[in-house]
Amino acid sequence: MDELLKELEGLSIGKVKQNEPLANHTTIKIGGPADLFIEPSSKENLKKLMEFIQEHTLNWRAIGRGSNLLVSDSGIEGVVIKLGPGLDTLKIEEEKVTAGGGHSLVSLATLVSKQGLSGMEFAGGIPGSVGGAVYMNAGAHRSDVSKILKKALVLFEDGKLEWLTNKEMEFSYRSSVLQKKRPGVVVEAVFQLEKGDREKITAEIKKNKDYRKETQPWNFPCAGSIFRNPLPEYAGKLIEKAGLKGHSVGGAKISEMHGNFIVNTGNATAQDVLALVQHVKDTIYDLYQIQMETEVEIIGRK
């Protein structure tokens, strides 16, 4: 690992850290160390990094702002790539918006609303990056990324950059082609928005942000929605109906504010969260014969 570290530092691709605790980079504040943690400083350096990863046959994983993520207590083997400064570019051309994968989604939604551009109101309050939002087809308030994405620039494992159209992204509920079929990193995204009434758009963004503050426990470390909605049912409602709000395992607790959120009360481990997730799955199946599936991504060493 020391040799790899020296070689990486010689490439001058950005910040490189060894054994970096991922609890520092997830919104739930849980996660063991990454063997190598790298923040590339540009698109070119990200490409260079991917070529290095392939040359040395290393495992890799990209993260943005660490929401919707549960990292194991044992951490992650190989390289964790964090998209941040240098990959948070923004260009607005009339109704077309091009944003870097490392750009904050909620910040982007606010910025475009002030320009009188409509289409991203649903993202008011979603605490992730543009890249992560495209990767998982993030959504809320009856809309999602698939409704506005024109195309995405993706860096694949072979080091090639390719523009994928909306159709090629194969979007479905909280999912895209990048999750299973074609692992890649969303470097940039082009959104097609519409001109609208600036006051109405900014009011809608504020309403969505306020709704999240009032109904979701973001005053505690959490990862966002833990379970996918087993439509036509809603995960939070099922969990509440089952009397599971407030149930805890170790430092992990089902929020009393929203049943589909697990909060870290201060010293939770990934094992605590996983035990609580399993308890919810078993209870909901026993009561309603519904199989609950996680929306939060669970990654890292077993």
Report residue 255 as tokens.
């929020």
Residues 61, 65, 174, 212: which is the catalytic one?
A: 174
The Cα–Cα gap between 94 and 193 comes to 9
* In contact, 122 and 139? CB cutoff 8 Å: yes
The H or E element spanning position 7 is helix 2-11
The 10 Å Cβ neighbour count of residue 243 is: 11
Tokens matching residue 48: 């260079």
Of the residues 20, 39, 204, 295, which is catalytic?
295
Helix (H) or strand (E) holding 19: strand 14-21
Active site residue 295: yes
Residue 69 · residue 299 · CB < 8 Å: yes
Tokens of 294: 């996680």
194 in active site: no
Q: Which of 118, 129, 225, 255 is catalytic?
A: 225
| 174 catalytic per annotation | yes
Annotated catalytic sites, by residue? 174, 225, 295
